[in-house]
């Protein structure tokens, strides 16, 4: 079974803190997707990566293919970062399908 | 551009009723997807359409049918709704489909309750 594990499930941080959300998966992948789900339910794509590191503003995503692990970092966190962060992977043996983690619920307190 | 739109936003059905969830995208994307999201579970793929004229089953297709009406529109039909189909349904689209780094864009979701 293809599984995607995220940790922690819930995270509360003070404004300004550095945040790390982790994602691990079980077998080789062709792509990993980080998404953000707003409190209202809308889902937006943050990063798509297959190796190395990507940065956009205060967000950084890294992936270690050998360890089958990815991290999403948020620097200088802000209350507007409060959301559910979802990791999804496309396995090499499943073609077009993504498999999703259950998400990490982040609350940033002013 | 509206991106990916879904109708309706909310729906309540009785067991055994049928309904169709509508999805449309205006980004000229080739591939479209239907997911369901349940509490404590990740998004799960119901059906997808890699390109106009094709549809394939995802992880949880039972109880659903789909139609790729044209390149823009991809509908999801529940023929005889069951309480187990109470969920939030998301439609998504992507430009190329099978390319690994092909980003998916999501609609706002439809919250469906089956009594």
Contacts of A103 in chain B (CB under 8 A): 42
| Nearest-angstrom CA–CA distance, B5 and A93 | 31
Between chains, do B101 and A103 touch, taking CB under 8 Å as contact?
no
Percent of chain B surpassing pLDDT 90: 82
The pLDDT of B35-59, averaged and rounded, is: 92
Query: Does any CB of chain B come closer than 8 Å to the CB of residue A1?
Result: no
| Nearest-angstrom CA–CA distance, B47 and B56 | 6
Between chains, do B106 and A96 touch, taking CB under 8 Å as contact?
no
Percent of chain A surpassing pLDDT 90: 81
Predicted local confidence at residue B67, as pLDDT: 96
How would you classify the pairing of strands A104-109 and A10-14?
Answer: parallel
Which among A43, A96, A100 has CB closest to B50?
A96
**If we measure between CA atoms, which residue out of B115, B66, B70, B113 comes closest to residue B91?**
B66
The pLDDT of A23-50, averaged and rounded, is: 91
CB A21 within 8 A of CB A78: no
- Confidence band of B18 (pLDDT split at 50, 70, 90): very high
Percent of chain B surpassing pLDDT 70: 97
Predicted local confidence at residue A63, as pLDDT: 96
Predicted local confidence at residue A2, as pLDDT: 58
CA dihedral B37, B43, B47, B51 (to 10 degrees): 130
Give SS3 for A90.
Answer: strand
Mean pLDDT of chain A: 93
| Nearest-angstrom CA–CA distance, A103 and B40 | 9
- Confidence band of B98 (pLDDT split at 50, 70, 90): low
To which H or E segment does residue A35 belong? strand A29-37
Query: Does any CB of chain B come closer than 8 Å to the CB of residue A95?
Result: yes
CB A37 within 8 A of CB A83: yes
| Nearest-angstrom CA–CA distance, A107 and A53 | 24
DSSP sequence for B15-59: TT--EEEEEEESS--SEEEEEEE-TTS--EEEEEESSTT--EE-S
The pLDDT of B11-32, averaged and rounded, is: 96
Q: How far is B16 from chain A (nearest CA, A)?
A: 27
| Nearest-angstrom CA–CA distance, B66 and B48 | 8
Both tokens assigned to B16 = 């055994």
Q: Fill in the DSSP letter of residue B107.
A: -
Between chains, do A41 and B45 touch, taking CB under 8 Å as contact?
no
Q: How far is B18 from chain A (nearest CA, A)?
A: 25
Q: Which residue has the higher pLDDT, B85 or B100?
A: B85
Q: Which residues contact B32 (CB under 8 A, 6 or more apart)?
A: B23, B25, B48, B49, B68, B74, B91, B92, B93, B94
Q: Residue holding tokens 């956009």?
A: A56
pLDDT digits (tens, 9 = 90+) for B64-81: 999 998 999 999 999 999
Contacts of B111 in chain A (CB under 8 A): 41
Between chains, do B48 and A99 touch, taking CB under 8 Å as contact?
no
Residue to mutate among B42, B93, B103, with most A CBs inside 10 A, is: B42
Q: Which residue has the higher pLDDT, A2 or B44?
A: B44
């Amino acid at each position: 079974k293809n599984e995607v594990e995220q940790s922690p499930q819930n995270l509360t941080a003070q404004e300004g803190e550095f945040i790390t959300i982790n994602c691990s998966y079980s077998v080789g992948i062709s792509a990993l997707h980080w998404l953000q789900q707003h409190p209202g339910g809308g889902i937006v794509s943050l990063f798509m990566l297959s190796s190395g590191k990507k940065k956009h503003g205060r967000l950084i995503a890294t992936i270690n293919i050998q360890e089958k692990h990815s991290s999403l970092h948020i620097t200088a966190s802000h209350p507007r970062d409060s959301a559910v962060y979802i990791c999804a992977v496309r396995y090499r043996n499943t073609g077009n399908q993504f498999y999703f983690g259950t998400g990490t619920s982040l609350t940033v307190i002013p | 551009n509206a991106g990916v739109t879904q109708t309706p936003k909310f729906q309540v059905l009785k067991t055994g009723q049928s309904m169709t969830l509508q999805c449309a995208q205006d980004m000229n994307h080739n591939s479209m997807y239907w997911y369901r999201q349940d509490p404590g579970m990740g998004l799960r793929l119901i059906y997808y359409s890699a390109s106009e004229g094709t549809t394939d089953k995802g992880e949880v297709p039972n109880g659903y049918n789909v139609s790729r009406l044209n390149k823009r529109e991809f509908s999801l039909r529940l023929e005889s709704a069951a309480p187990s189909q109470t969920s939030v349904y998301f439609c998504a689209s992507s430009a190329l489909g099978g390319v690994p780094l092909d980003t998916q864009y999501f609609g706002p979701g439809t919250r469906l309750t089956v009594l």
